[in-house]
Amino acid sequence: MATKKFNKKEFIREVKANVKALYRKNLEEATQQQLFQAVSYAVKDEIIENWLATQEQYEKDDPKYVYYMSMEFLMGRALGNNMINLTIYDDVKEALEEIGLDINVIEDQEPDAALGNGGLGRLAACFLDSLATLGYPAYGCGIRYRYGMFKQKIEDGYQVEVPDNWLKDGNPFELRRPEYAKEVKFGGYVRVEYDEKTGRNYYKQEGYQSVRAVPYDFPIVGYNNNIVNTLRIWDAEAISEFQLDSFDKGDYRKAVEQENLARNIVEVLYPNDNHYAGKELRLKQQYFFISASVQEAVAKYKKNHDDIRKFYEKATFQLNDTHPTVAVAELMRILLDEEGLTWDEAWEVTSKTCAYTNHTIMAEALEKWPIELFSRLLPRVYQIIEEINRRFVAQIEAKYPGDFEKVRKMAIIFDGQVKMAHLAIAAGYSVNGVAQLHTEILKHQELKDFYEMMPEKFNNKTNGITQRRFLLHGNPLLASWITDHIGDEWITDLPQLSKLKVYVDDPKAQQEFMNIKYQNKVRLAKYIQEHNGIEVDPRSIFDVQVKRLHEYKRQLLNILHVMYLYNQIKDHPEMDFYPRTFIFGAKAAAGYRRAKLTIKLINSVADVINNDASIKNKLKVVFIEDYRVSNAEWIFAAADVSEQISTASKEASGTGNMKFMLNGAPTLGTMDGANVEIVEEVGKENAFIFGLSADEVINYEQNGGYHPENIFNSDQDIRRVLMQLINGEYAPDDPERFREIYDSLLNTKSSDRADTYFILADFRSYADAQKRVEEAYRDEAGWAKMAMLNTACSGKFTSDRTIQQYVDEIWHLKKETVKVK
Ligand code: 26V
């Protein structure tokens, strides 16, 4: 299956030619950014043939496609990944060296494509990588935001958001496809016309505004298999004068309005993760990319097929959370109004096409749109949802006669709101959670009524991650060490890592493994020195928590424990304490006050501790600015301890946990999300598990919470730490600064329940687990073995496995092969 041979001379010639053509410069005159562009265009050239060959092969085989519909694709950088998957990374590295260029510096010029918030968006990116690598026909469908996830600056310890103008230097890997542009309509009203001949009503949207959706294609390169799939993200343009309907021509006001609509729609990614705000623009974004994508999927099908009633044989839509759920109604609209199907025919197609993935049980993330807003913006789509609801409610009543509670809890439209999750479940043929525990909670708690009514729809697909980015690219030293020991098949068959188990007791292998970890720690220490100006000792334990900042993820528990350790060290300077570096990285949603205050707290604690010479560098605290995909790759490679400490039941899966494990960092965590399955794979003796179980948490919640004040009163170490939040210890200039955090833990007035996330309840057990970490780390051989076992047992967590399960159990796609010409 080998790809065509890399021609170094030719490649160098092309890089030089690109610099000339793009910038009229010689190599020596070009900036690093310009060199990055020139190299990227040369790499893109290597991709194009395969891209064409793949499309040609698909055209010939007429396969079924999955359309992965997602508001977010957190792709990170493309250049390095593309070189890896083309298997030309080392060749290019050599070629660039020959002309005096450093591949790392070149790669570092590329802005992250940060079209996503966190887990959900990064999962979509890993899935695209696995789909292409496994040879499945797929389109990613999304939005080409002008501004992605904000860049984070830390000023005076506070987060400051800076716009992410990621397209400012141009994007070498994208391809504009105006020939596939689509019109998307908003607002207006619906006119009904009765047609005597057919005896049917016809519905026409009139008086609307519209935008032109123009797709940009990104190549998704499969690993070493010639397959290149497509991520298609839509840009919005104003409908130009000559495309306006005749009666709109000369309507200046409308022209301006449509221009504004187009500009606003794709302007920026909502930087909110897990919190629904009901913003009109967000619904516009959703309908915008869904309407364009569904129109395109139908158009593509119709090119080669004439019976639209069999659409589902060639296409399936996977809805990444409820954000793209309007696809259900949009597909119905096209089938009814444009293709002329009857309701029953259209419903059969739609309900065999759409499948839904749930990514959170956090109530505040549930999308519920006010009817007023929804029907005003999408009048025809709303009518269709009303009819879907009417029929669904009738079904509920037929199954549970007289049980109005069931209707209240399950209706799609209720209490003046359109509930998108209910629509997705009622219409889809599959509903899946993202880890075993999460799916069980969905079935037996959050979506209990739906599960009881249609159990056959529910299934689990435990998340995964791509080892191509998070090991082969992010940790080249470990990758080649692994390949030296067990061959390179792990790159596309991760469970092969279990072959490493024979080495875990071998002192030489242990030493090599830990030496690689050490080198990665040196690399990260250098990054921290350059970006934070903090010196950290690579011999200390790197204890890392990187993820979005959220109360349920409990960065607060982590930093309170650091404060506790600091107190201990100060009280007992003679105490034997293994040096520790606590590393944080996290963005807070711009409007999430308590999360932002937690960042300030972390930085304030860091300031005090890092500047206290008396503790002799036993403790360091680092907050890495602007945590994102590109620096994540380095951070995972360098971690000794993986902090996965969410309140049990709250983290649907987590995927960072898998990236740490793959890179040999044991989990310090609760029995939540995929941690449960990590422990199942590696054994609980190779992880540090603590805290309440999901059942215990849910039990407390159903019985009105618990009493953190009892813990406060009885545990003086905890009390002391909490008092330090309000006595100015970490805020001498404003002792009240962290009052809100203190209150959130103890004061029922500040929220409906004190300590909603059970921080005090889990504190002791967390501190004990941390003690076990320290003891384990002192045993060098024991730790090496544990770290290696984590890598060796991480095979399950490849997104290749996840995608194969989606294919086998939900999508039913056939594998394609593409030969290079
Ligand atoms: C929700 C919302 C609500 C409206 C405003 C914008 C917005 C943006 C994103 C979300 C989705 C939140 C759900 C989410 O990200 N879930 C995460 O999904 C990961 C992949 O399945 C999983 O590993 C994490 O545990 C889960 O928190």
- Quick check: 1 pLDDT over 60? no
Ligand 1 centroid from CA 122, angstroms: 10
- pLDDT at residue number 750: 66
DSSP letter at 472 equals: I
- For residues 201 and 194, what is the distance between their CA atoms, to the nearest angstrom? 4
Best residue among 69, 149, 273 to mutate for probing ligand 1, ranked by most atoms within 8 Å of CB: 273
- pLDDT at residue number 241: 63
Q: What is the mean pLDDT of residues 699-726?
A: 96
- pLDDT at residue number 245: 73
DSSP letter at 317 equals: E
Asked whether 679 and 689 are in contact (CB, 8 A), the reply is yes
Asked whether 321 and 355 are in contact (CB, 8 A), the reply is no
- Quick check: 748 pLDDT over 90? no
Report the chain's C-alpha Rg in angstroms.
Answer: 27
Listed in order, strand segments (DSSP E) in 645-707 are: 667-669, 688-689
Ligand 1 atom nearest the C-alpha of 434 is: 21
Listed in order, strand segments (DSSP E) in 625-715 are: 641-644, 667-669, 688-689
- For residues 688 and 666, what is the distance between their CA atoms, to the nearest angstrom? 8
- Look at ligand 1, atom 20, and give the residue with the nearest C-alpha: 120
Hey, is 798 helix, strand or coil? strand
Ligand 1 centroid from CA 274, angstroms: 5
- pLDDT at residue number 235: 98
Reported confidence tier of residue 342, pLDDT bands at 50, 70, 90: very high
Q: Between vectors from CA 790 to CA 539 and to CA 465, what angle results, nearest 5°?
A: 105
User: Can you say whether residue 76 is alpha, beta or left, with left for phi > 0 and alpha for psi between -120 and 50 degrees?
Assistant: left
Residues 6+ positions from 253 with CB-CB distance below 8 Å:
none
- Look at ligand 1, atom 15, and give the residue with the nearest C-alpha: 120
- For residues 164 and 113, what is the distance between their CA atoms, to the nearest angstrom? 10
Nearest to 324 by CA among 365, 302, 355: 355
Quote the tokens at residue 675: 């941690």
In the block, tokens 């170094």 appear at: 8
Q: Are 62-77+112-428 and 501-804 in the same CATH fold?
A: yes
- pLDDT at residue number 246: 66
- Quick check: 83 pLDDT over 70? yes
Architecture of domain 501-804: 3-Layer(aba) Sandwich (3.40)
- Distances from the Cα of 624 to the Cα of 156, 600, 633, angstroms: 14, 13, 13
Ligand 1 centroid from CA 322, angstroms: 10
Nearest to 564 by CA among 265, 326, 767: 767
Ligand 1 centroid from CA 361, angstroms: 10
Ligand 1 centroid from CA 651, angstroms: 10
- For residues 689 and 762, what is the distance between their CA atoms, to the nearest angstrom? 11
Best residue among 126, 357, 359, 419 to mutate for probing ligand 1, ranked by most atoms within 8 Å of CB: 359
Hey, is 542 helix, strand or coil? strand
- Quick check: 645 pLDDT over 60? yes
Listed in order, strand segments (DSSP E) in 363-476 are: 368-370, 413-414, 417-419, 431-433, 458-460
- pLDDT at residue number 364: 87
Range with the poorest average pLDDT among 149-158, 165-174, 198-207? 198-207
Q: Give the torsion sign (CA, 72, 552, 799, 527).
A: positive
Q: What is the mean pLDDT of residues 481-502?
A: 98
Q: What is the mean pLDDT of residues 188-197?
A: 94
Asked whether 478 and 637 are in contact (CB, 8 A), the reply is yes
Q: What is the mean pLDDT of residues 422-435?
A: 98
- For residues 392 and 413, what is the distance between their CA atoms, to the nearest angstrom? 10
- For residues 462 and 359, what is the distance between their CA atoms, to the nearest angstrom? 11
- Look at ligand 1, atom 6, and give the residue with the nearest C-alpha: 272
- Look at ligand 1, atom 8, and give the residue with the nearest C-alpha: 273
Phi, psi of 99 (to 5 degrees): -105, 20
Exposed, middle or buried: residue 1 (CB in 10 Å: 0-12, 13-18, 19+)? exposed
**What is the number of other CB atoms lying within 10 angstroms of the CB of residue 625?**
18
- 821: Cα separation from own chain's centroid: 36
Q: What is the mean pLDDT of residues 422-443?
A: 98
Q: What is the mean pLDDT of residues 270-276?
A: 86
Asked whether 528 and 622 are in contact (CB, 8 A), the reply is yes
- For residues 518 and 49, what is the distance between their CA atoms, to the nearest angstrom? 41
- Give kind and range of the element (H or E) at residue 809: none
Best residue among 275, 285, 360 to mutate for probing ligand 1, ranked by most atoms within 8 Å of CB: 360
**What is the number of other CB atoms lying within 10 angstroms of the CB of residue 476?**
17
- Look at ligand 1, atom 2, and give the residue with the nearest C-alpha: 274
- pLDDT at residue number 45: 95
What's the pLDDT tens digit per position in 592-605?
A: 999 999 999 999 99
Q: Round the average pLDDT of the chain to a whole number and report it.
A: 96
Q: What is the mean pLDDT of residues 256-272?
A: 92
- Look at ligand 1, atom 4, and give the residue with the nearest C-alpha: 276
Quote the tokens at residue 266: 């794709």
Task: Please report, for the chain, the start and end positions of each structural domain, with discontinuous segments joined by +.
Answer: 62-77+112-428, 501-804
- For residues 393 and 399, what is the distance between their CA atoms, to the nearest angstrom? 10
Q: Which residues line ligand 1 (CB under 6 A)?
A: 117-120, 123, 270, 272-276, 321, 359-360, 365, 434, 463, 651-655, 673
- pLDDT at residue number 242: 61
- Look at ligand 1, atom 1, and give the residue with the nearest C-alpha: 274
- pLDDT at residue number 821: 66
Q: What is the mean pLDDT of residues 644-659?
A: 98
CATH of domain 62-77+112-428: 3.40.50.2000
Ligand 1 atom nearest the C-alpha of 651 is: 25
Range with the poorest average pLDDT among 143-152, 276-285, 766-775? 276-285
User: At 182, which amino acid appears?
Assistant: K
Best residue among 68, 321, 432, 554 to mutate for probing ligand 1, ranked by most atoms within 8 Å of CB: 321
Ligand 1 centroid from CA 137, angstroms: 25
- Look at ligand 1, atom 7, and give the residue with the nearest C-alpha: 273
- Look at ligand 1, atom 3, and give the residue with the nearest C-alpha: 276
- For residues 653 and 644, what is the distance between their CA atoms, to the nearest angstrom? 10
Reported confidence tier of residue 277, pLDDT bands at 50, 70, 90: confident
Ligand 1 centroid from CA 603, angstroms: 26
Query: What are the percentages of helix, strand and coil residues in the chain, rounded to 5?
Result: 55, 15, 30
**What is the number of other CB atoms lying within 10 angstroms of the CB of residue 500?**
22
Ligand 1 centroid from CA 365, angstroms: 8
Asked whether 161 and 149 are in contact (CB, 8 A), the reply is no
Euclidean distance between the first and the last CA atom of the chain, given in angstroms as a whole number:
12
Nearest to 142 by CA among 320, 264, 20: 320
**What is the number of other CB atoms lying within 10 angstroms of the CB of residue 782?**
13
Nearest to 23 by CA among 435, 328, 32: 32
**What is the number of other CB atoms lying within 10 angstroms of the CB of residue 616?**
11
Asked whether 802 and 462 are in contact (CB, 8 A), the reply is yes
Q: List active site positions.
A: 359, 547-548, 553, 655, 659
- For residues 795 and 682, what is the distance between their CA atoms, to the nearest angstrom? 10
Task: Please state at what angle helix 780-792 crosses helix 507-532, rounded to 10 degrees.
Answer: 90
- For residues 674 and 151, what is the distance between their CA atoms, to the nearest angstrom? 29
- pLDDT at residue number 820: 83
- For residues 163 and 149, what is the distance between their CA atoms, to the nearest angstrom? 8
Asked whether 30 and 38 are in contact (CB, 8 A), the reply is yes
- For residues 120 and 590, what is the distance between their CA atoms, to the nearest angstrom? 18
User: At 133, which amino acid appears?
Assistant: T
- pLDDT at residue number 276: 85
Best residue among 115, 123, 272, 274 to mutate for probing ligand 1, ranked by most atoms within 8 Å of CB: 274
- For residues 42 and 700, what is the distance between their CA atoms, to the nearest angstrom? 59
Residues forming beta bridges with residue 622, ordered by sequence position: 583
Percent of the chain residues topping a pLDDT of 70: 98
- For residues 212 and 185, what is the distance between their CA atoms, to the nearest angstrom? 9
Q: What is the mean pLDDT of residues 749-768?
A: 92
**What is the number of other CB atoms lying within 10 angstroms of the CB of residue 140?**
26
Ligand 1 centroid from CA 742, angstroms: 27
User: At 456, which amino acid appears?
Assistant: E
Length of the chain: 821
Quote the tokens at residue 255: 């022209």
In the block, tokens 């999304």 appear at: 142
- For residues 784 and 800, what is the distance between their CA atoms, to the nearest angstrom? 27
Ligand 1 atom nearest the C-alpha of 276 is: 4
